[in-house]
Chain A
Amino acid sequence: MDNATLVSRIQFAFTVAFHYLFPQLTMGLALLLLILKTLYLLRKDERYNTAARFWARIFAISFVMGVVTGIPMEFQFGTNWARFSAFAGGIIAQTLAMEGAFAFFLESAFLGIFLFGEQVFGQKMHWFSAFMVWLGTWLSGAFIIASNAWMQHPVGYTVGSHGQLILSNYWAVLFNPWIGPQYLHTMSGSVITASFAMAGLGAYYLLAQQHSDYGRLFVTLAVIVGLIASIIQLYPSGDMEGRQVTVYQPIKLAAMEGLFHTEAGAGIIVIGQPDPTKGTLDNPFIVPNVLSFLTYRRWTAVVKGLDAFPRIQWPDTITLLYYSYHIMVGLGTFFIVIMGLACILLWRRWLFRSRWMLWILLLATPFPFIANTAGWFTTELGRQPWIVYGLLRTSQGTTLLSSGNVVFTLLGFMGMYLLLSLLYVVLVIYEALRGPVVEETPVPTGPKGQTAFSDELL
């Protein structure tokens, strides 16, 4: 693998992983905001609305970070992966362009009302704008998943006269069976991130004995939604993902599970450091037969190991892939336990006084970000050596650029994103410490309280 290819891979992985830190929060937060606005309209308690306004500020900062780091992703298919773009663009660019045409216009149009227009346009319109922002962000997720699902499991194409792929069945691409499990799993993962963020902040307020009303509201809403999402993440979505990988990407399964040798009644490796050169694991802890059951629903099923496949089709970073997967599943399990405990304590009315549980909720906040990132590393590293599974190898998809240019841009992105992360952390902590403030109108109004805008048409 030549140098420029490696640097292009690192650049894409870095920029997309950094970018996704933000949408995984905002997609889940859009749902929670919609719930808060709905509760406000139903129960008429002003605190729900103050809570919504507070989280809207966090949402706004996160959303703009997501937008500005997201634009490089669309461009990067062309800049660093031109041969892939020419090869597969006829298909994959359809779903990517649909994301722009449908989801982005929707969410950006209504975000303006959501952030600017509450006082001016009234609560019903404001609720509607929250709904449309939620719809737009989740549609965006759907189209991106459709694009990635096609790369994992290409459908609906034929081969053209220059060897490029051309679209032959639009509906096959839109209803690719790979999409269902992947979308459910991704969105549920996003709801987990947002729930832990809200629960963590609520826990902080309760521990610090500030804004206690809101602390209780945030924790209550977040642990209920968080438990539901954490369970869905494992079953059915995680299970569905695992089984479709088993059927269509058995090499990925073997590599991520650390299964070097084919086995009947394969056990699941809970911990253990893989050694790919020897095909063994150091200090393994294995639960027998479980992998066979999870994959094929039979305790004695034969699960193919890496050695059943030619080396040239193996992913090229087996250890990183293995750890990404194990970190994801390990954390996912912890999330169920944490939210489960929190819900039990909530039900027994002990939660707000349990300092140890509140500390756990507070400290758990960053971990869904890690889990979601690890999950994406799993699916993308496991897709290697393919960029379009079974059809185009990653090394054949790059733009033919000198490594000097790619290193230049990689360093530029890393520097910029380092500064963006510092800014983001500073601003979110600032907002969090400020807390949900009952303030006057957050948008301009005239002296009589009506709209400040004159009737002059733009």
Chain B
Amino acid sequence: MPTLWFILVAFMLSVYVLLDGFDLGAGVIHLFAAKTNQERRAILQAIGPVWDGNEVWLIAAGGTLFFSFPVLYASSFGGFYLPLIIVLWLLILRGVAIELRSHIQNPLWTSFWDAAFFLGSTLLVIFYGAALGNVVRGVPLDKQGHFFEGLWTNFDPFSLSPGILDWYTILIALLALVTLTAHGANFIAVKTEDPLNARCRRISRQAWLATVVLAVGATVATFFVQPQMRIGYDSRPWGVIFPIIALGGLIGMGYYNSRQRDRAAFLASSAFILGMLISTAFGLYPDVLPAVTPANSLTVTNASTSQYGLVVGLAWWSFGMVLAIIYFVFIYRLFRGKVQVMDRGGY
């Protein structure tokens, strides 16, 4: 049962990155792909009906993490206090920017919120990447399951008291940035027409090239920084399917982009993201939060709640997920197709 919930929580977090990832990616490319007010509004209208629902996956994943692994939730949220609060501030900035931009028709107002949308989205992606890097690298947990990391110490991931930022987590942050840039560009390309579409394809290609380089570098670095990964894959070799999916996605991103098939490119970047995240979770299992001193690591067994709680949760969670998927399919189908921006109204 704890293993099942490990899978479900990892699934929810991955879906969050997949969905809100393209909202964030849209924010990263916003100032570069869209040159006119009409084009900027097109980007916002592309994500407009779905961004809030996408963000809910973060809250739902967090809540699910809380009840299934309360010890992990308590320990990690306390230990990652500073970057988490900063992420909250950035989520506020990003959300407000999307919603408020269209409420006053003034060029200074709209330019300001365009910049805020870009800044909030970009920094969020960087922080998310660094957060993932921290989870993989391991944190200075003590025997009681507590830790606290300052934003940086000496930038050395092998230190006994690492900070949130070191060269490894920054590498992962940059990988996240280029990946979600491509992913966001792919989504906007699907939803828009020329010239926005053409610019998105170009950005997607450039981001993809950077992703290839950084993905290779990050994968190599990960096996050095977190030996548990090797052990994880050696003991369960069938798990190599997940990195293969990621690789397939990575190749697909470039292939379909060059063939100008936007929807396929988007599915490929989705596969890459899912493959990478699930590969990471698979490699770390049964740790949920590795510690610098391995004996102190939080695992699926020592961080989960009672059997009864997990079983009860499964019942209502399954019901809730079915409903959520129905809503999502419904909404995405309703709003399918290219956006066209009229002179007024909407975003």
Contacts and interface: CB of A to CB of B under 8 A. Distances in A.
B16 to A, nearest CB: 11
A94 B313 contact: yes
A170 interface: yes
Given A79-B78, A104-B56, A68 B64 contact: no
A400 B144 CA distance: 12
Contacts of B323: 102, 105-106
Given A105-B323, A166-B305, A416 B70 contact: no
Contact of A101 (B60, B85, B92, B341): B60
Interface in A173-189: none
Contact of B104 (A83, A113, A166, A430): A430
Nearest to B191: A458
Contact of B66 (A97, A168, A412): A97
B83 to A, nearest CB: 10
Contact of A416 (B45, B89, B317): B89
A116 B347 CA distance: 9
A93 interface: yes
B56 A443 contact: no
A61 B103 contact: yes
> Could you tell me the dominant secondary structure of chain B's interface residues?
helix
B335 A412 contact: no
Contacts of B320: 98, 101-102, 105
B236 interface: no
Interface in A415-455: 416, 420, 423, 427, 430-431, 439-446, 452-455
A93 B341 contact: no
A93 B66 contact: yes
A78 B63 contact: no
Given A79-B85, A85-B73, A453-B336, A64 B306 contact: no
B295 interface: no
Interface in A65-86: 65, 67-69, 71-72, 74-75, 77-80, 82-83, 85-86
A74 B81 contact: no
A170 B53 contact: no
Nearest to B92: A68
Given A71-B91, A113-B334, A423-B100, A444 B339 contact: yes
Interface string B300-333: 0000011011001100110011011001101111
B342 interface: yes
Give the interface centre of A71, A78, A168, A442 by most chain B CB atoms within 10 Å: A78
Given A85-B77, A170-B312, A420-B96, A90 B305 contact: yes
A310 interface: no
Given A74-B63, A101-B320, A79 B48 contact: no
Contacts of B345: 439-444
A39 interface: no
Interface string A104-118: 111011111101110
Nearest to B60: A100
A160 interface: yes
Given A78-B74, A82-B77, A458-B332, A446 B340 contact: yes
Contact of A412 (B85, B190, B313, B338): B85
A457 B336 contact: yes
A112 B58 CA distance: 18
B59 interface: yes
Given A78-B78, A89-B305, A401-B81, A445 B342 contact: yes
A452 B340 contact: yes
Contacts of A90: 67, 70, 305-306, 309
Given A85-B73, A112-B331, A401-B78, A458 B96 contact: no
Contacts of A458: 190-191, 263, 332-333, 335-337
A420 B84 CA distance: 20
B292 to A, nearest CB: 19
Nearest to B144: A400
B188 to A, nearest CB: 12
B56 A431 contact: no
A168 B89 CA distance: 37
A113 B50 CA distance: 10
Interface in B38-89: 45, 48-50, 52-53, 55-56, 58-60, 62-64, 66-67, 70-71, 73-78, 81-82, 84-85, 88-89
Contacts of B309: 90-91, 94, 166-167
A85 B74 contact: yes
Nearest to A136: B327
Contacts of B333: 457-458
B89 A453 contact: no
Contacts of B317: 97, 101
Given A71-B88, A446-B340, A456-B336, A97 B96 contact: no
Give the interface centre of B99, B328, B346 by most chain A CB atoms within 10 Å: B99
B337 A453 contact: yes
Contacts of A86: 70-71, 73-75
Nearest to A166: B306
B38 to A, nearest CB: 11
Given A74-B59, A104-B60, A442-B346, A116 B335 contact: yes
Interface in A35-93: 57, 60-61, 64-65, 67-69, 71-72, 74-75, 77-80, 82-83, 85-86, 89-91, 93
B70 A85 contact: yes
B312 A94 contact: yes
A209 to B, nearest CB: 25
Contacts of B342: 441, 444-445
A36 to B, nearest CB: 19
7 A-B pairs closest in CB distance: A78-B77, A89-B70, A453-B337, A97-B63, A93-B67, A112-B49, A101-B320
Interface of B: 45, 48-50, 52-53, 55-56, 58-60, 62-64, 66-67, 70-71, 73-78, 81-82, 84-85, 88-89, 91-92, 95-96, 98-100, 103-104, 146, 148, 190-191, 263, 305-306, 308-309, 312-313, 316-317, 320-321, 323-324, 327-328, 330-342, 344-346
14 contacts: A64-B98, A72-B92, A79-B77, A79-B78, A82-B74, A85-B73, A90-B309, A98-B316, A100-B59, A167-B306, A400-B78, A427-B104, A431-B103, A452-B338
Interface of A: 57, 60-61, 64-65, 67-69, 71-72, 74-75, 77-80, 82-83, 85-86, 89-91, 93-94, 96-102, 104-106, 108-113, 115-117, 121, 160, 164, 166-168, 170, 399-401, 405, 408-409, 412-413, 416, 420, 423, 427, 430-431, 439-446, 452-458
